[in-house]
Amino acid sequence: MADKSGFETRAIHAGYEPDPTTGAVIPPIFATSTYKQDGVGGLRGGYEYSRSANPTRTALEGALAAVEDGERGFAFASGLAAEDTLVRGLCAPGEHVVLPDDAYGGTFRLFDKVEQVWGLAHTPVPVSDIDAVRAAIRPGETRLVWVETPTNPLLNVADIEALAAVAHDAGALLVVDNTFATPYLQQPLTLGADVAVHSTTKYVGGHSDVVGGALVVRDHELAERIGFHQNAMGAVAGPFDCFLTHRGLKTLGVRMDRHCDNAERVVEFLAGHDAVTDVIYPGLPEHPGHAVASRQMRRYGGMVSFRVAGGEAEALAVCDRTRVFILGESLGGVESLIEHPGRMTHASVAGTDLEVPADLVRLSVGIETADDLLADLDHALGG
Ligand SMILES: Cc1ncc(COP(=O)(O)O)c(C=O)c1O
């Protein structure tokens, strides 16, 4: 929290000093499971066993804490591993969690099919509606209010500051999945949230070459609990994955600016296209979350969703026709991706209250030449 340097400086330098032995500017990949002790219990720098701590992971975790302005960061094998550690680290069977009604499908599945069996109840609500969140809280039982903002794939916006007050009034904690916005565009902890969650697989890693997750917490007590459960549950990120994720984090700021530039061009293009019935992007003044997004985000991100005239069949055809936009799940890499949420990322919520429209297409706008992206979409939309 003490580091007042700019975002990019923290992303590049926090968490690591050039190696005292060799001067290595980049954290080495410590491919070791264990560490020599100088006599029983004589640990060098606290390193004992790599599930508990590994220097490549320590460097990444320090940088993650710095860019989120948090007390401590923790790196996990995936975003869902981070979420499970958080939930079972902070909640007990018999308690309750409020969830977004358009949460990432895998997050909903985790709560619905795994945490519920363990004894944790959940209520999905529209997190852009503060009264609905307040009404869903069960006093004395609700432990977490869980928010994604913007949400995946409908890009709804939740007011972090207001929801932190609602959660805290009820004795609950506010958790913000900051995967879509990234710490460059939005810092939930500085707005009052208690925990920021990431699938670092996405923008933080940024190159579609590593799966990972992270938690950053705002205070010492939460740090102690998560640190204990990270080691006790063991879903840690390995040193090779930490190396790649940390390398990605260093360029997050410049990449996000280009993602936003390109997304703005794509939104403008889609909004003027006859084959598109609706464009969903928090940067549009008519987006219902625009005012809140403008308050809490630096810019509006690289994710764009749109609905296609011609329904599901045409939405699927658009996904098949692009050439630069690659048909695939995931998001946040340098390359543009297109997907059909109903049949792909959100297939696990089909038939539930969280089902997404069948004519919806989601874009993860990459950092290629913008004109090439527009030409590709024009072709795919039959222009
Ligand atoms: C917003 C969001 N949160 C969490 C996750 C889960 O992360 P992972 O796939 O790294 O387990 C995803 C994955 O797509 C996501 O989009």
Active site residues: 51, 104, 177, 202
CA of 257 relative to ligand 1 center, distance in Å: 22
Greatest extent of the chain over all pairs of C-alpha atoms, in Å? 74
Residue 2 confidence (pLDDT) above 60 = no
Give the pocket of ligand 1 (CB within 6 Å).
Answer: 78-80, 104, 106-107, 148, 152, 177, 179-180, 199, 201, 211, 213
Residue whose CA is at the smallest distance from ligand 1 atom 16: 104
Distance 21 CA to ligand 1 centre (A): 37
Query: Which residue of 102, 107, 111 sits with most ligand 1 atoms within 8 Å of its CB, as the best mutation to test the pocket?
Result: 107
Q: How many CA atoms lie within 13 A of 128 on its CB side?
A: 17
Percent of the chain with pLDDT over 90: 93
How many angstroms is it from 209 CA to the middle of ligand 1? 15
Per-residue pLDDT of 281-319, as tens digits, reads 999 999 999 999 999 999 999 999 999 999 999 999 999
Ligand 1 atom showing the smallest separation from residue 179 Cα: 1
Alpha helices in the chain (DSSP H): 7-13, 55-67, 79-90, 105-109, 116-118, 130-136, 160-169, 182-185, 220-233, 239-250, 252-271, 290-296, 311-321, 370-380
Question: Which pLDDT tens digit goes with each residue over 33-78?
Answer: 999 999 999 999 999 999 999 999 999 999 999 999 999 999 999 9
Could you tell me the pTM of the whole model?
0.96
Task: Name the residue at shortest CA distance from atom 7 of ligand 1.
Answer: 79
* Angstrom distances, CA of residue 56 to CA of 51, 71, 274: 12, 19, 50
Which ligand 1 atom sits closest to the C-alpha of 201?
A: 10
pLDDT digits (tens, 9 = 90+) for 312-349: 999 999 999 999 999 999 999 999 999 999 999 888 77
d(CA 48, CA 41): 9
Res. 152: pLDDT tops 90: no
Question: What confidence tier does 1 reach under pLDDT thresholds 50, 70, 90?
Answer: very low
Mutate to test the pocket of ligand 1, among 87, 108, 152 (most ligand atoms within 8 A of CB): 152
